Structure 1
Amino acid sequence: MAGRITPAAGWYGGRSAAERQAKRRRRFLEAGLDLFGAGPGYRATRITDVCRAAGLSSRQFYEEFHTLEDLLAELHLYVNDVAQRAVLDVLPQVRHLEPIDRCTRLFRAYAAGATADPRHTRIASVEIIGVSPRLDRQRLDRRARWIDFLCEQLDDAASRGEIPSRDFRVTAAAFIGAINGLMHDWAVGWVDATLDQIVDELLLMLLGRLQVTDEQGDGEAGPASHGSR
């Protein structure tokens, strides 16, 4: 009918349709965060559970997501973005530091961002694993981004003569893989340790690698000039 204001374009209660939709989506995301990250977990949750927790209908759910997996996928990206922002916020403050101090600060920022909310840790390290080929690809894509980021930091340090120049991809992949594995085991209770102990152990792995030079000249490797801390 000409002149009719449809729900998608109109205003109600002082809020536009887009604002109301964004609010509904946030309610579904918060419900999913609670159920997947603190409640029964993704595999034990149904769409009706999410709707009940959000106080919304299944019709409204399907206006936002096709499947429950879509909700998990969006939450996985969200919790990774939170950790990424924590690192990028610190990056300008540590560019002038030597590699060991810079990597230490960056990794502690990552750990703080990734674990400040235990629900984030569980979704990123536990709930996302083995759900589907699609989510496996998404998880590995985010892992690849972290590997690339670490390589960039190490390549930058090498270009400034702070550490020997080499291909850092294996080191970066091994370190990111260790983070994923240890965080999973810690989140599910297989590793009895505090977060500080987890962070310190992972840093020992990375910093120990940075404090050893590549084989050069006489084929011997020794500690770098920057002493252990």
Structure 2
Amino acid sequence: MGGSTGGATGRTYRSRSAAERSADRRERLLAAALELFGTRGRAATSVSDLCEHAGLSSRQLYQEFANREALLFALYDRINDEAARAVAAELAGSAADPAPQRIRAAITAYLRSTAADTRRARVAFLEVVGVSDEVERERRERRLRWARMLSVEVAAVIESGALPPQDPMPMLVAFIGALNGLAHEWCLDDHRQPVEDVAETLVRLLVGGLTAPPVPRGPAPVRPPQ
């Protein structure tokens, strides 16, 4: 009666449950974080700025996130989760294609998801760097996760005989680092290349690294007698 009820989904207010109001606050705060962190940057964005943009109070922000960094971390997670879904969908839709084409499609899908919107690119590749030890551990885990996803496709190319037998993981970890570095610079460039051109550069880098013959090692240096 009177618009408030109790039940398994929690107390309601004005026909919305507590869980629904919490979800709404989180969405508004994440949208504010994307806009402000993605344009002016984390260092230039205060809790007050985020609350004003979201139309919420600081108390409401702290109901959803422990602090400003936790909000940034949640946004970073969302961007990566959405990119993972985009890549998975692209791979599922190109199951019949040759593996090299699937690798190109996966890289392009990743970049379109994370970098086509420059705000998302700034958050994913620039604003999260060096925030905290926790975020750095998450970034490392994300890099390894992406490398493992690509390793499945690369293993298929190796099995087909199109690439020499090798353990691709060291090269893939190096490639993910290069991808992050290139995307970082792309974010800072006032004259950005199209995402497709960046993807092509990355494909050439990966294919070149996986097909290049080993560099001969010279003889070990002879140490003079002591």
Which TM-score applies when normalising by structure 2?
A: 0.85
Identify the residue that residue 205 of structure 1 maps to in structure 2: 205
1:91-149 deviation digits (Å, cap 9, x = unpaired) = 12223322321211111111111123221100000000011111111111111111111
| Separation of aligned partners in 2, 1:213 and 1:130 | 36
Range that drifts further, 57-66 or 9-18: 9-18
The answer to whether the Cα contact below 8 Å between 2:164 and 2:211 also exists between their aligned partners in 1 is no
Is residue 147 of structure 2 the alignment partner of residue 177 of structure 1? Answer: no
| Separation of aligned partners in 1, 2:54 and 2:194 | 33
Identify the residue that residue 27 of structure 2 maps to in structure 1: 26
Is residue 14 of structure 2 the alignment partner of residue 13 of structure 1? Answer: yes
Structure ranking higher on relative contact order (CA contacts 8 Å, 6+ apart): 2
Identify the residue that residue 105 of structure 1 maps to in structure 2: 105
| Separation of aligned partners in 1, 2:51 and 2:110 | 32
Identify the residue that residue 158 of structure 2 maps to in structure 1: 158
Identify the residue that residue 45 of structure 2 maps to in structure 1: 45
1:39-78 deviation digits (Å, cap 9, x = unpaired) = x211111111111111111111111111111000000101
Q: Which amino acid aligns with 2:137?
A: R
SS in structure 2 opposite 1:207? Answer: helix
The answer to whether the Cα contact below 8 Å between 1:32 and 1:50 also exists between their aligned partners in 2 is yes
Range that drifts further, 10-19 or 172-181: 10-19
Q: Which amino acid aligns with 1:29?
A: L
The answer to whether the Cα contact below 8 Å between 1:33 and 1:75 also exists between their aligned partners in 2 is yes
| Separation of aligned partners in 1, 2:131 and 2:70 | 11
SS in structure 1 opposite 2:61? Answer: helix
1:184-218 deviation digits (Å, cap 9, x = unpaired) = 01101277533333222111111233455679xxx
SS in structure 1 opposite 2:130? Answer: coil
| Separation of aligned partners in 1, 2:200 and 2:100 | 13
Range that drifts further, 192-201 or 25-34: 192-201
Q: Which amino acid aligns with 1:196?
A: E
| Separation of aligned partners in 1, 2:173 and 2:190 | 23
| Separation of aligned partners in 1, 2:18 and 2:119 | 30
Range that drifts further, 58-67 or 197-206: 197-206
1:13-64 deviation digits (Å, cap 9, x = unpaired) = 22111111110111111111111012x2111111111111111111111111
The answer to whether the Cα contact below 8 Å between 1:65 and 1:71 also exists between their aligned partners in 2 is yes
| Separation of aligned partners in 2, 1:132 and 1:13 | 39
| Separation of aligned partners in 2, 1:123 and 1:157 | 33
| Separation of aligned partners in 2, 1:42 and 1:12 | 34
| Separation of aligned partners in 1, 2:192 and 2:38 | 20
| Separation of aligned partners in 1, 2:87 and 2:122 | 19
Q: CA RMSD in A?
A: 2.3
The answer to whether the Cα contact below 8 Å between 1:99 and 1:162 also exists between their aligned partners in 2 is no
Range that drifts further, 174-183 or 164-173: 164-173
Is residue 127 of structure 2 the alignment partner of residue 131 of structure 1? Answer: no
Identify the residue that residue 56 of structure 2 maps to in structure 1: 56
Which TM-score applies when normalising by structure 1?
A: 0.84
| Separation of aligned partners in 1, 2:167 and 2:146 | 16
